[in-house]
A = this chain, B = another copy of it.
């Protein structure tokens, strides 16, 4: 059965959100800002309008519970934005979930099943790391909330919650046996779909991020009087290492591997002083656990080799390491069925290179994700965009997949 969405309503909702906290062609709606709270209240109202019991909880998650007695799907994404960033990053997945909830609720004969809609708080990390989804799955403690503060403005999270009128609200907790799964849609944030002229990405897994600090210890000295032959320049060591690492990773990388040096710090960082210490922030991502293990081994080997070769000491420190979040097979199948119907030959299975709330929820529920194309692969910038055509096609595939999941035999 082909599900009918209201394409105009989807675009109207998204363009409506775009006006709240508008910044150039994007939006500026940091977590718990006045504009962010306006969108959360708007969403709760829209959910109430279709008969959901909706509220904003003690961490600012918006949750709308369907009154349906039967199978239920949890659906949504986040609604706040990065600072001065794109209008669809987060909002798209929330509006798709809202539209699917409306469609299911309004379809005669489908009264038994329903879609609970959720807009997680702070996926963009203004105050922490996935605070909303961690809270909802019961993995966020009060001490973390006590310690959190806005990374741009410095406001403590407790104060921001209180200012938003949420200081006394309880935090909602997942009822696992209520759901058959969780579905999140998102812009791709890369150019894989666009470069292949495709419209739908069915996410197979969310890659893990392995984050390292590599330090080189040499000897700080005078840049004018110290002969080249006796220098132990930590900056020179770091550059040589990183150049070699680039080749090593090019050789060992898989199809989806990405690796990035985000920061190089030379100490003391003065023009006339030979750096005595260099610090490198390096990360790689992949969705294949075997590949991840291989890359970690070659990285460790490269650092060890640099340390052995000298003249500077090299040391590897693991800062963070996650395991890839595998998306549920039956939800992937439902997405494929839906995409085959509405976007034949325009979809692909692919990993997500970015992190999403779905990776947190996936620890507790079968979870799935769907991507729509990002024009030019741009994200976290106000020029981020997706064509109206792709937005509407995505909504259609999404709602169809929801129906496939909730009414598999219809």
A residues whose Cβ falls under 8 Å from a Cβ of B? 188-192, 195, 207, 209, 211, 220-228, 230, 233, 235-236, 239-240, 242-243, 246, 250, 253, 257-266, 269-275, 281, 283, 285, 319, 352-355, 374, 377-381
Q: Are B285 and A281 in contact (CB under 8 A)?
A: no
Q: Are A188 and B355 in contact (CB under 8 A)?
A: no
> What would 9 more interface pairs be, CB under 8 Å, given A225-B354, A262-B275?
A189-B222, A190-B224, A195-B230, A209-B272, A222-B353, A223-B262, A239-B264, A240-B246, A262-B270
User: How far is it, in angstroms, between the C-alpha of A136 and the C-alpha of B223 when the chains are bound?
Assistant: 27
Residues of B within 8 Å of A195, CB to CB, are: 230
Residues of B within 8 Å of A269, CB to CB, are: 262-263
Q: Are A190 and B225 in contact (CB under 8 A)?
A: yes
- The chain B residue with its CB closest to the CB of A278 is B264
- The chain B residue with its CB closest to the CB of A281 is B271
User: How far is it, in angstroms, between the C-alpha of A296 and the C-alpha of B101 when the chains are bound?
Assistant: 67
The quantity of this chain's copies bound in the complex is 2
For the residues of A in contact with B, the DSSP-based class is mixed
User: How far is it, in angstroms, between the C-alpha of A230 and the C-alpha of B376 when the chains are bound?
Assistant: 10
Q: Which of B243, B275, B355 contacts A224 (CB 8 A)?
A: B355
Q: Are A264 and B242 in contact (CB under 8 A)?
A: no
Residues of B within 8 Å of A354, CB to CB, are: 222, 224-225
Q: Are A258 and B224 in contact (CB under 8 A)?
A: yes
Residues of B within 8 Å of A226, CB to CB, are: 190-191, 258, 353, 377
A348 shortest CB reach to chain B, Å: 14
Jot down 19 A-B pairs with beta carbons below 8 A, ordered by A: A191-B226, A192-B227, A207-B224, A211-B271, A221-B378, A224-B353, A224-B354, A225-B374, A226-B377, A233-B261, A235-B264, A236-B261, A239-B239, A239-B261, A243-B243, A260-B272, A262-B270, A264-B266, A271-B283
